[in-house]
Homo-oligomer: A and B are copies of this chain.
Amino acid sequence: MPATEVSAVDDAEWALFDGFVLMHAELGRELDRRLQRDAGISQADFGLMLALFRGPEEGLRPGALGELIGWEKSRVSHQLTRMVGRGLVERVECDTDARGSMIVLTRAGRRALLGGMRNHARDIRELFLDRLEPDEKRAIAAASARVLGGLDVGR
């Protein structure tokens, strides 16, 4: 592929992209394994429950939940179905809009979340944050925001 090509991607850049993707994949897998082992939940469970935990007492609508964690509605719905089955969350009748329900943490869900929280934070620190230099943290934060912003606009 000639260097004059607009879309040309040289070896160093391929390596950058590849390494980045691979790192993220491995990191995610390891975090998932640990979270599963320590608290019996997945990262998906964790993120969703964390949003619920931080949210209002009455719970959240599936839509609002998806908005918060950046998931599309069908993904939220499927995940909720599975989590209801595992007893982590509950669908509660909603007064103001009968099309959907409010989602709330069950006692077991809250327990699993709290149990996982400390270890998960430790793992993220150990496997990721602690391995970054301060300027790398700045660079990654800035780059993530910029790339993410570009994606939303482009769609």
Interface of A: prevailing SS:
helix
Check A85 for interface membership: any CB of B closer than 8 A: no
CB distance from A33 to the nearest CB of B (A): 9
B121 touches A146 (CB 8 A): no
| Across-interface contacts of A139 in B (CB, < 8 A) | 133, 135-136, 139-140
Q: Which of A1-54 contact B (CB under 8 A)?
A: 1, 6-9, 12-13, 15-17, 19-28, 30
How many chain A residues touch B (CB < 8 A): the figure is: 53
Q: Does A154 contact B (CB under 8 A)?
A: yes
Given A9-B124, A17-B124, A121-B8, residue A23 in contact with residue B131 (CB < 8 A):
no
Q: List 25 A-B contacts (CB under 8 A).
A: A7-B119, A7-B122, A7-B126, A9-B129, A12-B141, A13-B137, A16-B129, A16-B144, A19-B141, A19-B145, A21-B24, A22-B148, A23-B147, A23-B151, A24-B24, A30-B151, A30-B154, A127-B154, A131-B150, A133-B143, A135-B139, A136-B139, A136-B142, A139-B140, A140-B140
